[in-house]
Structure 1
Amino acid sequence: MKLQPDRFDTLFINAYAEDWIAVSGEKKHHSLVVSSQGRCSDWGCRSFAELSAAHFASLADDAPEVVIFGSGAKLRFVSPALLRGLIERGIGVETMDTAAACRTYNILAQEGRRVVAALLLETP
């Protein structure tokens, strides 16, 4: 799906498919973190089974109001123990499939919210 930004002062997810996500026009073929504060980086996990508390704890670095977790092609919830570090800091966490997470990140970022999207792209 192709998307268009309303604002140009934040990172924007332009398009996505099952095996890639385009952030500000650059295609990424791995799991990534996108922040409305300007960070776009490799998330360091290739599958849902690899996710750890450390993956989620690193998301607090941008001091977001909310983290949008894109769980891959289908909606899957991680153990609350993995989210404990975010919850203890008062950071909200919403889980959805990666396509919905891309759309939701864009809406919140365009509203000027401090949001981080952690987007899982599972690779073989």
Structure 2
Amino acid sequence: MKLHHTTTTHLNQFTGYGDGYVMVNQERFEGSLIVTPTEVHSWRPTDFSTLEEADFAMLLEFGPELVLLGTGDRIRFPHPRLSRALASAHVGLDTMDTGALCRTFNVLTAEERRVVALVLGA
């Protein structure tokens, strides 16, 4: 699916997604990713079943106020113990399907919010 482009040109925006990929600023990415308003990084977990506590704890380095977790074409909620470090730091975690993650991230970055998107196995 292609997403509508916003006027935010200095920040990352999801510009498309489909089976096994997402596009950030027109560049196609496959695999699990961490996307911030200014950076794109690969992410260790290959799928939902391989998520670990350390995968969420390391996100605090990015200083987010909110983390979005995209779990593919259906929503799957991680066990609360996995995101304990985020909760202790008062960082919100929203879990959604990948399409919703892309749309939500674009809105939040346009508002200049400190958001981190986690895309599992794009």
Q: Give the TM-score normalised by the residue count of structure 2.
A: 0.94
1:101 Cα deviation after fit: 0.7
Q: Which residue of 2 aligns with 1:9?
A: 10
The 1-side partners of 2:119 and 2:6 are apart by 19
The 2-side partners of 1:59 and 1:6 are apart by 27
Q: Which residue of 2 aligns with 1:39?
A: 39
Aligned-pair Cα RMSD in Å:
1.1
| Letter of the 2:58 counterpart | S
Q: Which residue of 1 aligns with 2:101?
A: 101
Structure 1: 5+ residue stretches without partners: none
Q: Give the TM-score normalised by the residue count of structure 1.
A: 0.93
Residue-by-residue CA offset, 1:6-28 (whole Å, 9 max, x unaligned) = 21111111100021001112100
The 2-side partners of 1:102 and 1:121 are apart by 14
Provide runs of 4+ in structure 1 moved above 2 Å: none
Structure 2: 5+ residue stretches without partners: none
The 2-side partners of 1:116 and 1:16 are apart by 17
Percentage of identical aligned residues = 37
The 2-side partners of 1:74 and 1:23 are apart by 21
The 2-side partners of 1:42 and 1:102 are apart by 16
Count of residues in Structure 1 that have an aligned counterpart in Structure 2:
121
Q: Which residue of 2 aligns with 1:89?
A: 89
Contact 1:35-1:116 at 8 Å conserved across structures: yes
1:44 Cα deviation after fit: 1.4
